[in-house]
Structure 1
Amino acid sequence: MRGGGGGRNAAARARLAARLLAVLGCVLTAEAQLTGVLDDCLCDIESIDDFNTFKIFPKIQKLQERDYFRYYKVNLKRPCPFWADDGHCSIKDCHVEPCPESKIPVGIKAGSSNKYSKAANNSKELEDCEQANKLGAVNSTLSNQSKEAFIDWARYDDSQDHFCELDDERSPDAQYVDLLLNPERYTGYKGPSAWRVWNSIYEENCFKPRSVYRPLNPLAPSRGGDDGESFYTWLEGLCLEKRVFYKLISGLHASINLHLCANYLLEETWGKPRWGPNVKEFTRRFDPAETKGEGPRRLKNLYFLYLIELRALSKVAPYFERAVVDLYTGNGHEDAESKALLLDIFRDTKSFHMHFDEKSMFAGDKKGAKSLKEEFRLHFKNISRIMDCVGCDKCRLWGKLQTQGLGTALKILFSEKEIQSLPENSPSKGFQLTRQEIVALVNAFGRLSTSIKELQNFKVLLQQTR
């Protein structure tokens, strides 16, 4: 009997060893594919890893904890504009806890109706939160010059080429959410509802050629015989702008998946959940063998998206470097520290020596380039509207925020001349960003920075299985 048990144990150990070798082989294969220079730019992955780990990640984490950037106003009740609502996620982790009015810094609420917090800085101390919510209470303390400036800002916003469908912050359904208390993580939301959202994004908005019959949606059922190489050959026939569009969406999808894998509900005992990295889930979504070679490509698209948003941060720096721009919450000391940290991050972004060159996009004849840019903008705006179809409130919150962040980055990249020509002392002329756009921009890039850091952590966890 002992001999038989030993034989069974030996066989079990052999099977375990075979599985570990298979995992190790996949790790080495993935690492071999996830190196070198990215397509459509001259930057290598190793440089991004080092830059993000040692310069950006620690600072962007600190910035996201500041009051100005942790409170995001969002409408999670907007109906889906494309199909009948198929029900909201009933899992408790899908729930978003809105922030009580009393917790919102008075300066943020006072400035929510304004484009610039500098003018709010000139207002008198507001007596309570109820008074702060009344636009009349704010307007009564403003100079005529500031009032005219607000009109100018509104006119400019109406003419801006927005890449996102923006929430109406004045809607009674719009609420402030504390992002630190509602972290992005795996909620259990999946199935037909999630599939429909991503399928609509990929199949209807990613410039899919009619000749490509295979679904672009990674969540779609696989067809036998397909491989990563044959799947990605369709990209080669597209112009740069359309290739970039697909990579941005794929990179955003990869980043979101990484967040879910890194912050996964591992167990829940006695009502106390334990969240952490799920190596098995990461392998299922990104391993070359599990994804037929597509996993490493998805992760490369994450790096490409990181480069795009990094470039936008470096381009928008002059907008914030002006003394007229404050990150106003009502706490003067914290506001000054927040702006100093933001400018420090901008200096780091400018020091990166392998930026994506956005000037290579829309560089053809003026008429064709203008038409393509408009098509690009409308496709992305459509994707921002699809985020209102997400059935899980927490997923919808982070989907809307990250989509708006990317849309703001695109707005910046295509407004370089307007940013460069900004007057130093006038807040009302030219390029503008709302507070919501600023918060979304910083937090969206923070999510990408976290994704790349978590990717390094997963590499270590996988190598520990050797």
Structure 2
Amino acid sequence: MEILEDILNTFETMVKLVCSLTFALIILSASIKCQSSFSPFLHAKNAGQPSKYGNKAISERCFCELEGSVNDCECNVAYVDSLNNNKIFPRITSLLTKNYFRFYKVHLFKKCPFWDDNEGKCSLKFCAVEECPADSLPDGLKHSNDTLKSSNRIFFGPLPNEEPCIPSKEDILGSINETISKAASESIATWIEYDAKTSSFCVVDEEPPEDQIYVDLIVNPERYTGYKGPDAHKIWKAIYEENCFNLSSIIFSDFLFLQSSSCEHFICSSLFQDMCFEKRVFYRAVSGLHASINIHLSLKYLYSAAEVPDVLSDGINSLGNWGPNLEEFHRRFDPDRTNGHGPQWLRNLYFLYLLQLRALGKAAPFLENVDCYTGNADEDYETKEAVRDILNIVKDFEYHFNESTMFSGGQQAVKLKDEFRLHFLNVSRIMDCVGCQKCRLWGKLQTQGLGTALKILFSGDFDSPDPTVFDLRSMRRTHFKLTRNEVVALFNALGRLSDSIQALEMFRKLAVS
């Protein structure tokens, strides 16, 4: 018997050894595949070697692989380009100049919950945010508590074509007494607040009004401020490295993070090809957001007086010189400089764009009824009609991202969904660690916009019996809850993605000119 136990123990030890060796080989293989050519050793080693893309122009190298299917969606890149550049971009750009969407309420002075960020503060003048004085706010926002009117939450009274229900005397006599005590009312309010928090995918600023400010997004545009270095790189490294769905920490060791010449961290995209769909969606969404922000920084690059090119998108002024920088875009996305991953990061931008479009389409029955109230009746009407115009285009789009296949499969799926939500909640918290105030503003806005999209897609609050049907009548039992800030962030997030896709076309033209 003892001999048999010894044999079994020896066998178990050998199995563990084989598993360990196999795992080590997988990691070694992945590290060789994903190691960036920008580490000092590899850069020197490969410096004299010709590019695998030959002598192709920058435009060809950056865009030759950005064609065909977006992957994980039934749509291709060219179709998205056409939809965005011809229909969505001009409309969303115009919409975001309206007062309802240009003023965003935010707390920019929260303490970083993960590390001491006092030393990482940006002192450059271009990092500062210009606060909107109270007297310049639209009348409808001066005393707003950011909660949409109850009519806009659609608690589903009679639909427009229905007669209101007037109870008869018999109905009144036989009705249930619906009055409740103050204590019970407070308990219900607590339950509702708990439900709202457990369905949220991003941190919502809940500080007292005096700690929050309104920011005019047109006066404080997203652009390169000069904020860079280890403190800036730490943000993206934390976003990727701390939200890894409990995969082995070995896989996420530093050598598997691509570090380009701009020192920005990305996760090697080939590592996630075999991931389950839900986890792949998470990383592609984060990567798409990262790519979009990098395009914005390349599109509105801060030049010194000596570097100003002939053509600047913003013109030359005493406050700074911003304009498109093809070399900066090339540095961030050229496959030669990203170990071949740049085009995939751009493809993830298209994926995120489709995900965001689907969220707008799914929430269309709610969004079509938002009053867009600012106190100016004429502009509010124009804004509401502009929102409906965009939503009509979104609803007519036939290649929407299909979220209905996600998180299906019992308790394990429920656990994965909550893990998915908590990971993105964590990403939104990291935005309070950004040292550049203007970068923090746009980071918080875009993560709230994406978080709102994820809430619409996955919280269940916006589900209808048929996920392909945008029909208010079929969704009457659902209680929609979005704040004004969430609506503003949702549309501005789409606007940023739309602007990025439009910018790719401009960089194509610059590269061949």
TM-score range, shorter chain: 0.7 to 0.9
Q: 1:115 aligns with which of 133, 136, 148?
A: 148
User: Which whole-Å deviations, capped at 9, do the CAs of 1:293-315 have from their partners, x for residues lacking one?
Assistant: 01101100111110100110111
Q: TM-score, normalised by structure 2?
A: 0.74
Provide the residue aligned with 1:337 in structure 2. Answer: 382
Q: Deviations over 1:71-124 (max 9, x none)?
A: 00111100000001233100100000010000111212333253327599xxxx
**Cα gap change, 1:91 to 1:64, in 2 (>3 Å):** same
Partner deviation per Cα, 1:170-208 (whole Å, 9 max, x = no partner): 342210000000000000101111111111101111437
1:156 aligns with 2:200: no
Select the structure of larger CA radius of gyration.
Answer: 2
| 2:315 counterpart of 1:258 | no
Residue identity opposite 2:445 in structure 1 = L
Residues 22, 443 of structure 1: CA spacing in aligned structure 2 closer, same or farther, 3 A cutoff?
A: same
Q: Which amino acid aligns with 1:350?
A: K
The match for 2:124 is 91
Matches of 1:222 and 1:98, distance apart in 2:
31
Letter of the 1:435 partner, please give it: R
> Residues of 2 paired with 1:428 and 1:183: CA distance?
40
State how far apart, in whole Å, the 1-side matches of 2:187 and 2:367 are.
21
State which of 446, 456, 464 in structure 1 corresponds to 2:505: 456
- Work out which of the residue numbers 70, 74, 99 in structure 1 matches 2:106: 74
Partner of 2:401: 356
CA distance in 1, matches of 2:305, 2:343: 32
1:185 alignment partner, one of 223, 228, 245: 223
SS of residue in 2 equivalent to 1:111? coil
SS in 1 for 2:338: coil
CA distance in 2, matches of 1:381, 1:44: 30
Task: Give matches, 1:363-374, under 5 Å.
Answer: 363=408, 365-374=409-418
Q: Conserved in 1, the CA contact under 8 Å of 2:81 and 2:501?
A: yes
In 1, the alpha carbon distance for the partners of 2:101 and 2:95 equals: 7
Counterpart of 1:240 in structure 2 is 277
- C-alpha contact 1:108 1:329 (8 A) present in aligned 2: yes
- Tell me how far apart the structure 1 counterparts of residues 417 and 326 of structure 2 sit (CA, whole Å): 40
Checking the alignment, whether the CA contact within 8 Å between 1:203 and 1:215 is kept in structure 2 is: no
Which amino acid counterpart does residue 401 of structure 1 have in structure 2? L
CA distance in 2, matches of 1:281, 1:255: 14
Q: Is residue 146–residue 483 contact of structure 2 (8 Å, CA) maintained in 1?
A: no
Where do 1:408-427 residues align within 5 Å? 408-415=452-459, 418=462, 420=464
Moved more, 447-456 or 232-241: 232-241
Change (3 A) 1:22 1:395: farther
Q: 2:353 aligns with which of 292, 306, 312?
A: 306
Match of 2:371 in 1: 326
| Cα distance, 1:428–1:54 mapped onto 2, change above 3 Å | same
* Counterpart amino acid of residue 435 in structure 2: G
CA distance in structure 2 between the aligned counterparts of 1:110 and 1:222, rounded to whole angstroms: 44
How many angstroms does 1:321 deviate by? 2.8
Q: Contact conserved, 2:288 with 2:346, CA < 8 A, in 1? A: yes
Question: For each residue in 1:236-276, what CA deviation from the matched residue of structure 2 results, as whole angstroms up to 9, or x when unmatched?
Answer: 23111111111111100000000000001123388352211
The alpha carbon displacement at 1:156 in A equals: 3.3
Q: Distance in 2 between matches of 1:163 and 1:444?
A: 15
Q: Residue 111 of structure 1 contacts residue 117 of structure 1 at CA under 8 Å; is this kept in 2?
A: no
The match for 2:74 is 42
CA spacing shift, 1:112–1:291, aligned 2, 3 Å: same
Q: Secondary structure at the match of 2:320?
A: strand
Equivalent residue for 1:27, pick from 59, 70, 82: 59
**How far did residue 277 of structure 1 move?**
0.2
User: Which residue does 1:430 correspond to in 2?
Assistant: 479
Aligned pair in 2 of structure 1 residues 461, 23: CA closer, same or farther (>3 Å)? farther
Moved more, 233-242 or 246-255: 233-242
CA spacing shift, 1:427–1:149, aligned 2, 3 Å: farther
Normalization by structure 1: what TM-score?
0.81
Q: Once superposed, what is the RMSD of the aligned Cα atoms?
A: 3.2
Q: Is the Cα–Cα contact under 8 Å of residues 250 and 301 in structure 1 kept in the other structure?
A: yes
CA contact (8 A) 1:116 1:434 kept: no
Helix, strand or coil for the counterpart of 1:172?
helix
2:424–2:451 CA contact under 8 A, matched in 1: yes
- The alpha carbon displacement at 1:379 in A equals 0.2
What does residue 207 of structure 1 align with?
Answer: 245
Q: Among the aligned pairs, what percent are the same residue?
A: 48
Q: After superposition, what is the alpha-carbon deviation per residue over 1:385-425, rounded to whole angstroms, capped at 9, x for unaligned? A: 0000000000000000000000000000124564549988x
Please point out which of 424, 427, 430 is paired with 1:386: 430
* Worse-superposed segment, 230-239 or 214-223: 214-223
CA distance in 2, matches of 1:150, 1:301: 44
- The gaps in structure 1 that reach 5 residues or longer are 1-17, 121-143
| 1:103 match | 136
**Structure 1's 155 and 240: CA in aligned 2 closer, same or farther, altered over 3 A?**
same
Task: Mark the CA change 1:111 to 1:119 in structure 2 (over 3 Å): closer, same or farther.
Answer: farther
What does the per-residue CA deviation read over 1:140-175, in whole Å, with 9 as the maximum and x for residues that have no partner?
Answer: xxxx9xxx9999888534312100011125342210
Change (3 A) 1:222 1:103: closer
Distance in 1 (alpha carbons) for counterparts of 2:472 and 2:63 = 48
Q: Which residue of 1 aligns with 2:159?
A: none
Alpha carbons of 1:428 and 1:169: their partners in 2 closer, same or farther (altered >3 Å)? Answer: farther
CA separation in 1, counterparts of 2:56 and 2:319? 33
CA displacement, residues 298-336 of structure 1 (integer Å, 9 cap, x when unaligned): 1001111101001101111011234xx311111111111
Q: How do residues 5-20 of structure 1 correspond to structure 2 at under 5 angstroms?
A: none
Determine the C-alpha separation between the residues in 2 that align with 1:83 and 1:343.
Answer: 43
2:245–2:419 CA contact under 8 A, matched in 1: no
Any idea what SS the aligned residue of 1:318 has?
Answer: helix
Decide whether aligned partners of structure 1 residues 398 and 428 sit closer, same or farther in structure 2, where only a CA change above 3 A counts. farther
Name the count of aligned residue pairs.
Answer: 412
Q: 2:305 aligns with which of 268, 274, 292?
A: 268
Q: How does 1:164-183 map to 2 (within 5 A)?
A: 164-168=202-206, 170-183=208-221
Q: Secondary structure at the match of 1:205?
A: coil
1:56 has 2:100 as partner: no
Residue in 2 aligned with 1:377? 421
Distance 2:76 2:185 in 1: 44
Q: Secondary structure of 1:33's partner?
A: coil
